[in-house]
Structure 1
């Protein structure tokens, strides 16, 4: 029995709708809202540090900072460097509530991660978004890291543990500080929620951009101290070294 009486045509099936590229506004030839030429021209991360994903001129190397002072997290996975147009898309998603840009980048990150899993990268037990302080969450209305984590969770069939971490107090915006100030800014900034289950788990922190790694380092140390077996970091983009 047809469920559309008095209508000669078929019900519109939105899943078959042609996507339009969010970058050039031309019809997309991919399942995502980005065309192949625009996707190809994104600032894909090339050779990079095997630990923190810092862009490097040679493949398969570890940067000097990670050799000198190995971070608490095991590995950073990021598809892009923080350059145009990815930087602009992330800014609009993060500060202007342009969620389609974030969703698009999240879908491409999920594809990148699935490729890495197929190549042998160990799947985490859960995704853990970097938390926002309550005041900033009220002002912005959403946590972009949590949104990314839930999109990745749906695409990759991974658990998302949004309630594992707390930001205990509001700190100055990290993007306004240098590396040393970032570390000082984050002292005692995070805590585990009451009853958080961490022991023996492989967890992956989710954030939009990794710059100095201070936030990821602080959270990874907290989780490892609580008994986590391993902490990875999944983010959209990695900033190049200043002047590099």
Structure 2
């Protein structure tokens, strides 16, 4: 990890991903950070139709275990997608902080509209896990970095209650939506059912496309007793 970090800083000096300004110790300057788009539209995880509260619509509900999905920003925004890619592939874990901050802004907006609240529910924040081999290669799990910061901000329980039990092809390398669902079948397991039983889960990941990974995680969590599963992702591809 230290070697990756050294090489990343050598090859990619601290320049803003938005305006290319040289920075001392960050990759997003204040003005560009404020310009990052925050979504207002809520959509169904399955058909992507606009729905109230980000719920899984009645047509898609038989096929999805997720109760709701919240999508923070727009992947087609070059700074948002650039930050996510730099976090994962340039090994820059410090980018988790501004992305988590963007999620906080989004949650504040949705809370003001009474679409989301952590009050009165027994929430646990759970990241989508990486396989150990991939996490060792990267040096961190980007979803866990973001999830932990959200849990700290909202004073919610954080737990890595899921584990990835097989090393499958990365979803980003699969174009066919059906194959994405097949690729993650039986990929996850619950670490300790007693830690999720009866709880509302906020499942966090950096990016989703079809929602196959989120759905598989939600199915495992519910099989192990979770009361509900709400997903929050930074962007949707």
**CA deviation after TM superposition for structure 1 residue 167, in Å:** 0.3
| Partner of residue 168, structure 2 | 171
* Structure 1 residues not aligned, in runs of 5+: 1-19, 240-244
| Partner of residue 92, structure 2 | 98
Q: Distance in 1 between matches of 2:110 and 2:187?
A: 32
How many residues align? The count is 212
Q: 1:172 to 1:196 in 2, by over 3 A?
A: farther
Q: 1:112 to 1:54 in 2, by over 3 A?
A: farther
Q: Distance in 1 between matches of 2:79 and 2:102?
A: 14
Q: 1:38 to 1:193 in 2, by over 3 A?
A: closer
Alignment check: 8 A CA contact 1:45 1:55 kept: no
| Partner of residue 133, structure 1 | 131
TM-score, normalization by structure 2:
0.78
Tell me if 1:69 matches 2:73: no
Higher gyration radius (CA): 1
**CA deviation after TM superposition for structure 1 residue 112, in Å:** 1.7
* Structure 2 residues not aligned, in runs of 5+: 1-14
Q: Which has the higher helix share?
A: 2
**CA deviation after TM superposition for structure 1 residue 231, in Å:** 0.3
Q: Matches of residues 44-123 of structure 1 in structure 2 within 5 Å?
A: 44-49=38-43, 51-52=44-45, 66-70=57-61, 71-83=64-76, 84-120=78-114, 121-123=116-118
TM-score, normalization by structure 1:
0.76
**CA deviation after TM superposition for structure 1 residue 117, in Å:** 3.4
SS at match of 2:19: coil
Q: Matches of residues 189-228 of structure 1 in structure 2 within 5 Å?
A: 189-194=187-192, 196-228=194-226
**CA deviation after TM superposition for structure 1 residue 99, in Å:** 2.4
Task: Give deviations 1:131-151, integer Å, cap 9, x for gaps.
Answer: 111111111111001111111
| Partner of residue 10, structure 2 | none
Runs (4+) of structure 1 exceeding 2 A deviation are: 20-28, 32-40, 42-48, 51-56, 58-63, 65-69, 99-102, 114-120
SS at match of 1:68: coil
